[in-house]
Amino acid sequence: MATERITKRAYLNEARQLRRELIELQLQLKQAPFKVLLILAGPEGSGRGELLHTLAEWLDPRGVDTFSFHPPTEEERAHPAPWRFWRDLPAMGRIGLYTGSWYTETLREEARNKRARRHLLEEAERIRRFEKLLGDGGTLIIKVWLHLSRKAQGRRLRTLWADPSTAWRVTEEDWQHHLIYDRLAETARLIRQRTSRHGAPWTTIEAGDERARDLAVARLLVRRFREQQRKATRLSPPKPPTDPKPLRPSGLRRLRALRLDQEMSEHDYTALREKWLGRLSASVRGVLAAGKSVVLVFEGWDAAGKGGAIRRLTSAIDPRDYRVVSVAKPTDEEKHAHYLWRFWREVPRDGRVTVFDRSWYGRVLVERVEGFCRADEWRRAYGEINDFERQLTEHGTVVIKYWLHVSHEVQLSRFQERESTPHKQHKLNDEDWRNRRKRPAYEAAVGDMLALTDTPHAPWQLVPADDKRFARIEVLRTATRLLEAALE
Amino acid sequence: MATERITKRAYLNEARQLRRELIELQLQLKQAPFKVLLILAGPEGSGRGELLHTLAEWLDPRGVDTFSFHPPTEEERAHPAPWRFWRDLPAMGRIGLYTGSWYTETLREEARNKRARRHLLEEAERIRRFEKLLGDGGTLIIKVWLHLSRKAQGRRLRTLWADPSTAWRVTEEDWQHHLIYDRLAETARLIRQRTSRHGAPWTTIEAGDERARDLAVARLLVRRFREQQRKATRLSPPKPPTDPKPLRPSGLRRLRALRLDQEMSEHDYTALREKWLGRLSASVRGVLAAGKSVVLVFEGWDAAGKGGAIRRLTSAIDPRDYRVVSVAKPTDEEKHAHYLWRFWREVPRDGRVTVFDRSWYGRVLVERVEGFCRADEWRRAYGEINDFERQLTEHGTVVIKYWLHVSHEVQLSRFQERESTPHKQHKLNDEDWRNRRKRPAYEAAVGDMLALTDTPHAPWQLVPADDKRFARIEVLRTATRLLEAALE
């Protein structure tokens, strides 16, 4: 690629025009329902820092967040790897400028041998999936590779080095990386190739001439933003679903085959509860002491007894070690973020437990059935959720998922009991009755959830819950078994 | 205190009534503009955990956050001590239940000697001020001391220990604390005495009988909530200020005495800039390498050149080490929180720099002048801000504060230039013109700010900014001097 030279006058002229467009773009972004990530990568001396300063001057800084990269902290290492990246996303309607990103660590590696190369390709695949998830969620991802030849890099480093007033900008690491320029360039080429996809392509920009570089990046930002706007207006709003047909009938069959007539006497319950609470407590402490974390997901019909089961289960855990997250309707901030974002925030650090009273499965249950999201969105969610849970278990988190199943009849009698008990009335609202009327549609959704997200790393536990005592023991027993298995 | 015994029937009767009231209270809380903190403290065996479970059952869990205590993580230790407590506050309209809190560490200490006692009293004073700040901001703080006699504690631990199904609940530490019951009780008494203040008193509740304990805590919650509601309705809304008179004329005199006619040639500027950028870069790296953090605050008149000064200054810092926070109007979430909350979130960890483009001083500038808060609120803010900055410097953070001062005339010519330059028009809005018209009122507020928050640990740097070159060098020079001083 030849270095484009540009005169100062031409630069100032075009910069003036681009600045006006960038400001206009930011104003529109505040109204538009998406966020923008601009990832700047390139070798030392390609001017990521200077570019950041130019963009900070050209953009309205009140709508910009800058993110960069440090080796992960102890807190970040105590969470699954993507946690830190989810934490460092700009809010909706804002632009995030990344001088470091999920690429930084990968780009420092060298593909010296087969094993290192395989590791790099795995990393690239993880990044690809993460960006696809964000892109599908409406985020605009712009990735710039600032190209600087080996020769130009050497020239730039030497110039800075020679001048006492700028010598401080050149670190020892810069020189080291200059020596292995070719190997790092090969890694970068491989990573770019594997992570360039429709929607999040890499754009290479020649960094030899500073003015041309700045203008090219600003032009790219304007162009990609306009494309994204056109795409966003083409998306149709979600339609109320008319067809409750399951995608995979096997899940529904599994649900219907569950024996709901299993009961337990008060006497047996008391004895078994103490037994399992004791074993559960020991296994939780063991798992946490081993530095693992635990995620418990409680899903089930309204009035299936999730709250009671959670209270019994958590009574076996040190209150300092667990946290119950009751998932209500999303707040404004959450509504504007990716649906997985608010759950990533609550992922436990090593040595802790998070209990989710309802969860990310809302996407494929209430949001699917009530038409709160588009069909392509909930259809995509099964795979996204499997990926999410795999990221947890790969980190060493034990993921336990319950579906508490009650019959239509038992649910009715519990609703009636709530209605007639003053201090329980708040537990019952119009939505519960609405959901009850739509049982067939919900059953189809539950069946698909069981069929499509029952993975080896995070299998579903189906709990017959017409009898509360039986259900509670079942919850304690399966949790204990799974935790004991995780300890082996 | 005699242990109150209560029959099961009486318990169930009153519990039913209290649960109804608690649910009603939570509904009202969603509308009411405050948050509730319920702090549960007491010796081992007093049943903090069980009480938590009872309240989790009685309250609607969707409006409750539970917080507990662990020794601080590496991330928490890398921030000033109060950072973790600011992070763990419930959102507005919610109830936070604390089984561990800012008291936990303090309550484990023993006042064995004079020095330990002095340390305890200092801690108590810090807590008192923190709670006063929250209370003044409208937070309802309820603190419960669960009293359990030494004898009752021994009985309870032995009962649990004797039964194989509950023995796991008793840890070795529980027995150790039982042995030094009296000394810990003395510490707790001292701490309670020093942190019981109007608005956040300690209430002692006898924990010997579980039923009586649960009812007493619920009753207390209902009563204090009602009191707080009455208090909130008595508060008058802020009135637009009529009197721009300064509280302390000395600040205004200092502002007016500043020589604004100082200028610098392009030639001198270029030479001095390189010199000071080099020294600044070295001193920043030195300070960060020493594990300290840096906070830079930029305040000044509209169009005083804050943005340009920040860009020059940050060009000397590794982009991975700093973050610029542009303070715009608060978001909904921020509006509902304490005004310092959003700044605590941005406090840098050790080894990092945060640059604030406008800051917490908005409370005593725009909010005071425009009447966005009540007079008692902005008057109180000077002391609160001094406390806040002291908490930063006590941790080892270097706090550098600039006021960029321009004359009324130069401001006008910069406004006019912005108006006539298309890509700068967004920098000027109606509010800027409004603020300009109110210059006398703002000058009074700036003067008071300079007089009342110019502390030895965080002094103000007044920068004459009619000449941009002079101002930028002044900013670089003072930052360097202060950082070099911090290195000594």
Alpha-carbon gap: B70 to the closest alpha carbon of chain A (Å): 7
Question: Is B69's CB within 8 Å of A307's CB?
Answer: no
CB atoms within 10 A of CB B69: 17
CB B316 within 8 A of CB B281: yes
Q: What's the rounded mean pLDDT across residues A131-146?
A: 94
Identify which of A247-251, B27-31, B51-55, B396-400 has the greatest average pLDDT. Answer: B396-400
| Strand (E) or helix (H) holding B35 | none
A241: confidence class by pLDDT, cuts 50, 70, 90: low
Residues A255-268 have pLDDT tens digits of 999 999 999 999 99
Adjacency order of strands within the sheet including A460-464: A322-326, A353-357, A294-300, A398-405, A460-464
CB A362 within 8 A of CB A101: no
CB atoms within 10 A of CB A418: 18
Q: What's the rounded mean pLDDT across residues A453-465?
A: 97
Q: How far apart (Å, rounded) are the C-alpha atoms in residues B450 and B452?
A: 6
Q: Which member of B75, B99, B100 has the closest CB to residue A74?
A: B75
Is 70 exceeded by the pLDDT of residue B1? no
CB A483 within 8 A of CB A287: yes
Tell me which of B62, B355, B418, B421 to substitute to probe the interface with A (most A C-beta atoms closer than 10 Å): B62
State residue A350's pLDDT score.
95
Residues A206-219 have pLDDT tens digits of 998 999 999 999 99
What CA dihedral angle connects B208, B211, B212 and B216, to 10 degrees?
A: 120
Q: What's the rounded mean pLDDT across residues A373-390?
A: 94
pLDDT, averaged across chain B = 91
Residues A326-345 have pLDDT tens digits of 998 887 778 888 999 999 99
Crossing angle (nearest 10°) for helices B48-58 and A306-314: 170
Which range (A172-176, B3-7, B408-412) has the least confidence?
B3-7
State residue A71's pLDDT score.
84
B309: confidence class by pLDDT, cuts 50, 70, 90: very high
Q: Which member of A56, A68, A278 has the closest CB to residue B320?
A: A68
Q: How far apart (Å, rounded) are the C-alpha atoms in residues A154 and A148?
A: 10
Q: How far apart (Å, rounded) are the C-alpha atoms in residues B204 and B200?
A: 13
**Hey, what domains does chain A have and what are their CATH numbers?**
8-234 (3.40.50.300), 249-487 (3.40.50.300)
Residue A346's contacts (CB-CB under 8 Å, 6 or more residues apart) are A323, A325, A354, A356
Tell me which of B74, B88, B165, B315 to substitute to probe the interface with A (most A C-beta atoms closer than 10 Å): B165
State residue A110's pLDDT score.
73
Q: What's the rounded mean pLDDT across residues A41-47?
A: 91
CB B212 within 8 A of CB B3: yes
Residues B456-479 have pLDDT tens digits of 999 999 999 999 999 999 999 999
State residue A179's pLDDT score.
94
Is 90 exceeded by the pLDDT of residue A61? no
**Beta-carbon contacts below 8 Å between A and B:** 124
Question: Is B314's CB within 8 Å of A53's CB?
Answer: yes
Q: Which residue has the higher pLDDT, B50 or B295?
A: B295
State residue A308's pLDDT score.
93
Question: Is A49's CB within 8 Å of B16's CB?
Answer: no
Is 60 exceeded by the pLDDT of residue B328? yes
Nearest chain A alpha carbon to B17: A423
Question: Is A423's CB within 8 Å of B326's CB?
Answer: no
Q: What's the rounded mean pLDDT across residues A232-242?
A: 72
Q: How many residues does chain B have?
A: 488
State residue B242's pLDDT score.
63
Long-range contacts of B275-280 (CB under 8 A, 24+ apart): B275/A165, B276/B473, B276/B476, B276/B477, B276/B480, B277/A165, B277/B312, B277/B315, B277/B316, B277/B476, B278/A164, B278/A165, B278/A166, B278/A168, B278/B316, B279/B480, B279/B484, B280/B313, B280/B316, B280/B476, B280/B479, B280/B480, B280/B483
B243: confidence class by pLDDT, cuts 50, 70, 90: low
Is 90 exceeded by the pLDDT of residue A324? yes
A230: confidence class by pLDDT, cuts 50, 70, 90: confident
Nearest CA-CA partner of A304 in A471, A465, A436, A445: A465
State residue A3's pLDDT score.
53
What spatial distance separates the first Cα and last Cα of chain B, rounded to whole Å?
Answer: 57
- DSSP 8-state symbol, A329: S
Which range (A104-108, A163-167, A185-189, B92-96) has the least confidence?
A163-167
Q: What's the rounded mean pLDDT across residues A401-415?
A: 97
State residue A200's pLDDT score.
93
Question: Is B100's CB within 8 Å of A320's CB?
Answer: yes
CB B148 within 8 A of CB B45: yes
Is 50 exceeded by the pLDDT of residue B111? yes
Q: Looking at the predicted complex, does its ipTM rise above 0.85?
A: no
Is 90 exceeded by the pLDDT of residue B106? no
Tokens 């998406």 belong to residue: A34
Residue B263 is which amino acid? Answer: E
Which range (B44-48, B220-224, B263-267) has the least confidence?
B44-48
pLDDT, averaged across chain A = 91
Please provide residue A354's backbone torsions phi and psi, each rounded to the nearest 5 degrees: -120, 130
Q: How far apart (Å, rounded) are the C-alpha atoms in residues B92 and A222?
A: 39
Q: How far apart (Å, rounded) are the C-alpha atoms in residues A131 and A141?
A: 8
State residue A184's pLDDT score.
92
State residue A1's pLDDT score.
47
Q: Which member of A49, A57, A357 has the closest CB to residue B319?
A: A49
